[in-house]
């Protein structure tokens, strides 16, 4: 199969050019002590939150091993965050909930049996236990903002030229601290497929609408590459998990020369996040804890 897995979503460890407003919620990771980068997102109409977290020690991303786990707890569910790439330090999962106002608690726990629950042999009989790591005990509570629902564009709307504008609109909310627009473009040519993501902070806290041209999302020349920076990568990855396309640790960075790709059509998954910042928790010296709600609509570009 001549499938070209050209994905351009940044791993959080990578940096890239970034366009748009500065991010007021995502403080940098501290070079001393423990930092976290956490996001919990609740997509519109669902009672299931996508959550992602990384922990840092003295500015370096920490992998949790041997029974140290990150657990996300809602009012009704508790789930261990997993990484699809061992030692990446990037963890994610989904958590069911019934009451969004209860938020999500992230905790680093020590549970050697639960950490090995996916193994085939009886871990209660066979266990090497070197004890808890230094991150165990850190906790962060994340609250969600008011739900966001896109009233335009309509799902599956078709655009035929790059000059056409896509107008996204939604009802504003006074508790919004920041609005982020994230898109994942997937273009097809026969059996070939190319995919990349973009993410921007909007100019005001909650403008209620955002206009973007098709050409801004799907350029006709030059390389298309990831345009998120380190701090916005979580949003793209969370969108990816909504789309079941991206996953933590599976995504590599690669530039794509778009003019070499004879595209037949593209799908554009457009997501608007309503974001609020949360306290990091006791003794955590840097990073961020974002609670967000989002709505996604998918449109098509058929030149």
Partner 1 sequence: MKSLLLPWLLVMVLGMYSAVGHADTGSAESRQVYLLLSYDWLDVADADFDNSLSAEAGVLWPLQQRFYLEAAVTGINDASTPTQEDNTGSYQLTLDSVELLAGIHYQTETDWMDSLVLFGRGGLLAYRMEITLDEAFYGLKPSGSDTASDSGWGFYVGAGVLWDLKNRWLLRSEFTYKQRSDFLDDSSKPFDVRSTGINIGIARTF
Catalog residues that contact partner 1 under the rule CB under 8 A: 63-67, 82-83, 86-87, 115-116, 118-128, 130-131, 133
Provide CB contacts within 8 A for 58, sequence distance 6+. 31, 32, 33
Rounded distance between C-alpha atoms, residue 162 and residue 196, angstroms: 17
In whole angstroms, how close is the CB of 181 to partner 1 at the nearest point?
A: 32
In whole angstroms, how close is the CB of 216 to partner 1 at the nearest point?
A: 38
In whole angstroms, how close is the CB of 88 to partner 1 at the nearest point?
A: 9
**80 or 143: CB nearest partner 1:** 80
| Chain centroid offset of residue 101 CA | 21
Rounded alpha-carbon distances, angstroms, from residue 158 to 54, 110, 280, 303: 38, 50, 42, 10
Vertex 252, ends 91 and 300: CA angle to 5°?
Answer: 100
Rounded distance between C-alpha atoms, residue 201 and residue 150, angstroms: 17
In whole angstroms, how close is the CB of 124 to partner 1 at the nearest point?
A: 5
**116 or 180: CB nearest partner 1:** 116
**64 or 104: CB nearest partner 1:** 64
DSSP string, 130-151: ----TTTT-EEEE-------EE
Rounded distance between C-alpha atoms, residue 296 and residue 130, angstroms: 44
Neighbours of 28 (CB within 10 A): 13
Q: 3-state DSSP helix/strand/coil percent for the chain, to nearest 5? A: 10, 40, 50
**126 or 282: CB nearest partner 1:** 126
In whole angstroms, how close is the CB of 83 to partner 1 at the nearest point?
A: 5
Helix (H, G, I), strand (E, B) or coil at 299: strand
Task: Answer yes or no: are the C-beta atoms of 13 and 61 closer than 8 Å.
Answer: yes
**125 or 262: CB nearest partner 1:** 125
Rounded alpha-carbon distances, angstroms, from residue 63 to 53, 94, 95, 118, 128: 11, 20, 21, 18, 18
| Chain centroid offset of residue 252 CA | 15
**85 or 267: CB nearest partner 1:** 85
In whole angstroms, how close is the CB of 118 to partner 1 at the nearest point?
A: 7
In whole angstroms, how close is the CB of 258 to partner 1 at the nearest point?
A: 36
In whole angstroms, how close is the CB of 57 to partner 1 at the nearest point?
A: 11
């Amino acid at each position: 199969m001549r499938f070209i897995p050209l994905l351009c979503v940044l791993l959080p460890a990578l940096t890239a050019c970034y366009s748009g407003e500065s991010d007021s919620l995502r403080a940098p990771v501290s070079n001393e002590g423990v930092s976290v980068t956490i996001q919990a997102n609740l997509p519109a109409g669902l009672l299931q939150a996508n959550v992602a977290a990384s922990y840092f020690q003295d500015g370096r991303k920490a992998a949790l091993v041997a029974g140290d786990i990150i657990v996300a707890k809602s009012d009704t569910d508790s789930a261990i965050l997993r990484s699809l790439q061992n030692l990446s330090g990037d963890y994610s999962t989904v958590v069911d909930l019934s009451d969004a106002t209860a938020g999500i608690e992230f905790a680093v726990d020590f549970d050697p049996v639960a950490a090995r629950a996916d193994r085939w042999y009886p871990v209660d009989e066979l266990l090497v236990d070197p004890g808890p790591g230094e991150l165990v005990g850190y906790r962060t509570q994340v609250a969600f903002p008011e739900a966001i629902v896109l009233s335009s564009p309509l799902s599956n709307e078709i655009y035929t030229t790059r000059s056409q504008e896509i107008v996204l609109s939604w009802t504003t909310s006074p508790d919004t601290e920041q609005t982020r627009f994230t898109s994942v473009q997937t273009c097809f040519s026969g059996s070939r497929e190319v995919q990349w993501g973009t993410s921007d902070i909007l100019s005001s806290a909650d403008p209620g609408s955002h206009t973007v041209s098709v050409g801004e999302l799907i350029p006709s020349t030059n390389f298309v590459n990831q345009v998120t920076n380190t701090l916005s990568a979580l949003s793209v990855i969370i969108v990816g998990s909504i789309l079941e396309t991206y996953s933590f640790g599976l995504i590599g960075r690669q530039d794509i020369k778009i003019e070499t790709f004879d595209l037949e059509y593209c799908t554009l998954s457009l997501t608007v996040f309503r974001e609020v910042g949360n306290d990091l928790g006791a003794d955590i010296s840097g990073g961020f804890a974002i609670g967000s709600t989002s709505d996604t609509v998918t449109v098509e570009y058929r030149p």
